[in-house]
A and B are shown apart, each in its own frame.
Chain A
Amino acid sequence: MSRASIAVLVSIILLPLVVRHAIATEIWIFAIFGLGLNLLLGYTGLLSFGQSTFFGSAAYVAGWLLKHYAIDVFLALGVGVAVGAVSALLVGYLCVQRSGLYFIMLTFALNQLFYFIAYQWTSVTGGEDGMAGIPRPALLGIDFKDPLNYYLFVSLLFLISLWLMQRIVESPLGRILQAIRENEVRAEAVGYNVPRFKLLAFVIGGAFSGLAGVLYAMLFGIMPLEAISFVFSGNVVFATLIGGSGSLYGPIIGSFVFIWLSESVSVLWARWPLLLGLAFVIVVLFLRGGVVEAWSRFWLWHSSKQRT
C-alpha cells in the first residue's frame, strides 16, 4: 500500500470526527466527481466545462425514480452511472470533433442546454425550487438515514472509484489518453482513432459524475437546480486545479479544500461566490500549480530562509 492510499484511509476515518457528517460525505462525493473530470482534464488534456451536465442529469433521473418508484439504492446508482455515461456520450459526440477553445465553449453551451431544460421542466425537476423529497432507502438492512452509515457507504464507493480510476489510468487505455494529451497529432499518426478515445474518456468521466450525482441527491434529499448549472461545473474544475490536475490524488485534495472552505464561508456571507471568484483570480495569478505546488514552494522558501 502506498503512502497516498494510507493517507486517504486515515482521512476517511478522521474526517467525520472533525467536520459534520454531511460535509464529510459531500467531500468524498465531490472527490468522485473530481476523479471523473481529472480523467479528462489531467490525463487526456480535455478541459470540459460541462461536467455538471452528467452529474445533474443522473441526479434528476435517479432522484425521480427513487421518489416515485422507490427503487433500491443499487439500482439508483446503476441508473445514475448509466445516465451519466449516456449523457456524456451525447454531449461528447458533439464536442470531441472540435478542440481548444471551441471544445470548452461547446461543453459549456450544452451544459446550458441541460440547465434550461431542468429549469423549465418544472413538473419533473421542480425548476428553481429543486427536486425535493428524494429518499435514502435502506440497503441490506443497513439504515442509510443514519448519517454515519451513509458516510461509510459513500467512502466505500469512493475507494472503489479511486481503485477503478487508478486501474484505468495505468491501463493501456490510460496510456493512450496520456499520449493524446502530450501530442495529439502523433497519437493520431501512430494509428489511434483520437476522437474515439476522447469520446471514451468522456463517457467514463460522465459515468463517474453520474455516480457522484446520485450520491449527492441522496445525501441532501434534494436535487437543487444549481447542481446542474455551469457554476457547479466551474467548481469542480477549480477544485481539481487547486488540488493539482494530472495527479490521481489532486482532485481529492482539491475537494477537501473546496468543500470545506465553501461550506464554512457560505454560512457566514450570502455573497460568498464573490470570495470564490476572488479565490479563483488569486490562485490563477499567484498560485498556479495548485495547493501541492504552493506547499512545496513554501518549504523551499522556508528552508532557504533557515540556511541564511
Chain B
Amino acid sequence: MLYALMGLGLSLITGVLNIPNFAHGALFAIGAYLLVTTVNVIGNFWLALVVAPVGVALLGLAIEYAGIRRLYAAGHDYQLLFTFGLALILSEGIILVWGPVGYSYLPPPVLRGGLDLGFTMYPKYRIFVMVAAGLLVLATWLFLEKTRYGAIMRAGIENKEMVSLLGIDIHRLFTVAFALGAYLAGIAGALTAPIRGINPGMGVDMLGIAFVVVALGGLGNLLGAIAAGLLIGVAQAIVAAYWTEASTAVIFAVMAAVLLVRPQGLFGIR
C-alpha cells in the first residue's frame, strides 16, 4: 500500500506536469525525518503525522514555484538534471541537518506490539499503516474522480492545451498537482519511519520503487498505480521470505518481466 501511495504521487506529478521527478525519493525521506523531528519537539505522534506531510507539501510548493515552473518549456534532459540536482541537495541536506547515521524509531505506544488475527500474529503498527495508506489512496481517488478540481486535474493529464483554452489556470493546476504529489510522498515517508527507521539512503531506495510502480501502472493511471504497488509489495514479501538478498532486485525483475509481455504497462494505453 505504501508503494501504491508513492507511485500515485509520482504518477500525478509525471502525468500532469510531464516531468521526470527524481526528487520524489528525497521528498519521501524528508517526510520521514520531519515526522521524527516533530514528534521529538511536540511529543505527539498523531499531530506530527499531520504536520510532517504538510511540511513536505509546502516544500514541494516552493520547489515548483521557484524552479520547475521555469522549466516546462525546456527538454526532459534539463528537467531531469534539475530534479536530480534537487535530490542531491535534499539528501545531502538531510545528512547535514540530521547526520549520516540512521535511527530506528518506535511507533506510538498504542500501536506497539502485535495483534492476534486468529491464524497469525501481526504487528499492530503495520495494520495501521495498511489502513491509513488505504484510506489515503481512497481519498485521493475520490478527490480525482468525484470532485470538480480532480476532474480538471485528470483533464490536465489528458490534454493540457485544451484545459488552458477552457480558461483554467494551468500553472496553478501544475503547482497543486506537484504539492499533492509531494504530500503523498511525505506522508508515505512519515508512515514508513516507525517500520524501517530513518536513514539518508531511504529516499533513493524508494525512488526506484516509485518509478517501477509508475512504469508498471501507467502515467496518471490511479488504478494502475494501486495495482502495481500491490503487485510489487506482494512479490517482494514472497521473495523476502525465501531469498532475502534478492528482495530488492525482484522489484525490478518483476517490472522487466511485465514489460516484456506488456510494454505499455499493466493498464497503460500510451
Q: Counting CB contacts under 8 A, is A43 at the interface?
A: no
List A contacts of B267 (CB < 8 A): none
- Asked if A276 and B85 sit within 8 Å, CB to CB, the answer is yes
CB pair A288 B74 closer than 8 Å = yes
Is B85 touching A278 in the complex (CB atoms < 8 A)? yes
Picked from A109, A119, A278, the residue with its CB within 8 Å of the CB of B89 is A278
A230 CB contacts on chain B under 8 angstroms: 204, 208
Contact A120 B85 (CB under 8 A): no
B115: CB under 8 A from chain A?
A: no
On whether A94 and B82 interact (CB within 8 A), knowing A47-B77, A277-B88, the answer reads no
Query: Is the C-beta of A117 less than 8 angstroms from some C-beta in chain B?
Result: yes
Contact among B19, B70, B77, B253 with A237 in the assembled complex (CB-CB below 8 Å): B77
Q: What residues of chain A lie closer than 8 Å to B145, measured between beta carbons?
A: none
Question: In the complex, which residues 70-107 of chain A have their Cβ closer than 8 Å to any Cβ of chain B?
Answer: 94, 97-98, 100-102, 104-106
The answer to whether A280 touches B82, judged by C-beta atoms less than 8 angstroms apart, is: yes
Enumerate chain A residues within 8 angstroms of B85, measured Cβ to Cβ: 276-281, 284
Question: Given A104-B76, A108-B208 in contact, is the A274-B259 Cβ separation under 8 Å?
Answer: no
B76 contacts A47, C-beta separation under 8 Å: yes
B16 CB, min distance to chain A CBs, angstroms: 12
User: With the chains together, A274 CA to B93 CA distance in Å?
Assistant: 7
Q: How far is the CB of B163 from chain A (nearest CB, A)?
A: 19
Partner of B20, one of A94, A101, A271: A101
Q: Which of B76, B89, B204, B245 is within 8 Å of A274, CB to CB?
A: B89
Known: A109-B215, A237-B81. A271 touches B255 (CB 8 A): no
Q: Are A234 and B92 within 8 A (Cβ)?
A: no
Question: Which of chain B's residues has its CB closest to A118's CB?
Answer: B249
Residues of A within 8 A of B248 (CB): 116, 119-120
Decide: A117 and B84 in contact? CB cutoff 8 A. no
Task: Specify the chain A residue showing the minimal Cβ separation from B92.
Answer: A274
Q: Which residues between 188 and 244 of chain A lie within 8 Å of chain B, taking CB atoms? A: 230-231, 234, 237-238, 241
A104, A279, A283: the one contacting B80 at CB < 8 Å is A104
Nearest-CB distance from A155 to chain B (Å)?
Answer: 29
The residue in chain A whose Cβ has the minimal distance to the Cβ of B95 is: A271
A117, A245, A278: the one contacting B249 at CB < 8 Å is: A117
| Interface 1/0 per residue, A260-291 and B, CB below 8 Å | 00000000000101101111110111001000
Chain B proximity of A12: nearest CB distance (Å): 29
A47: B residues at CB distance < 8 A:
76-77, 80
Q: Are A112 and B92 in contact (CB under 8 A)?
A: no
Chain B residue total in the interface (Cβ 8 A): 47
Collect the chain A residues with CB atoms within 8 Å of residue B43's CB.
none
Q: Are B80's CB and A109's CB within 8 A? A: no
Instruction: Give every chain B residue within 8 A of A102 (Cβ-Cβ).
Output: 215, 219
Q: Which residues of A contact B96 (CB under 8 A)?
A: 271, 274
Q: Are B92 and A277 in contact (CB under 8 A)?
A: yes
Would you call B67 and A112 a contact (CB within 8 A)? no
Does any Cβ of A come within 8 Å of B138's Cβ? no
A277–chain B nearest beta-carbon distance, Å: 3
With A108-B211, A288-B74 given, is the CB distance from A276 to B260 under 8 Å?
Answer: no
Q: Does B45 contact A (CB under 8 A)?
A: no
Contact check, B74 vs A273: say whether CB atoms are below 8 A apart: no
Q: Cβ of A154: which chain B residues have Cβ within 8 Å of it?
A: none
Q: In the complex the two chains form, what is the Cα distance from A279 to B96 in whole Å?
A: 18
Which single residue of chain A is at the shortest CB-CB distance from B249?
A116
Residues of A within 8 A of B249 (CB): 113, 116-117, 120
A49 sits at the interface (CB 8 A) = yes
The contact string, 1 if C-beta is below 8 Å from chain A, for chain B 34-62, is 00000000000000000000000000000
Give CA–CA (A277, B20) in the complex, Å: 16
Give bound CA distance, A17 to B33, whole Å.
47
Q: Could you tell me if A280 and B84 are in contact, using CB atoms closer than 8 angstroms? A: yes
Q: Does B214 contact A (CB under 8 A)?
A: yes
Q: A102-B215, A116-B249, A271-B95 are in contact. Are A237 and B263 (CB under 8 A)?
A: no
Given contacts A97-B263, A101-B18, A112-B252, contact A284 B88 (CB under 8 A): no
Shortest distance in angstroms between A185's beta carbon and chain B's nearest beta carbon?
A: 15
Distance in angstroms from B44 CB to nearest chain A CB is 32
Q: Would A109 and B76 be within 8 Å (CB), given that A234-B84, A277-B92, A281-B89 are in contact?
A: no
Query: In this assembly, does A110 line the interface, its C-beta being within 8 Å of a C-beta of chain B?
Result: yes
14 residue pairs bridging A and B, Cβ less than 8 Å apart? A47-B77, A94-B260, A97-B259, A101-B219, A109-B215, A112-B208, A112-B211, A119-B248, A234-B84, A277-B85, A277-B87, A280-B84, A280-B86, A281-B67
Give me 10 other A-B pairs in contact (C-beta within 8 A), A102-B215, A108-B208, A274-B92 excluded: A41-B77, A47-B80, A98-B263, A104-B76, A105-B14, A105-B211, A110-B256, A273-B88, A276-B85, A281-B67
For the complex of A and B, the 7 pairs showing the least CB-CB separation, nearest first, are A280-B85, A277-B88, A113-B252, A274-B92, A112-B208, A277-B89, A97-B263
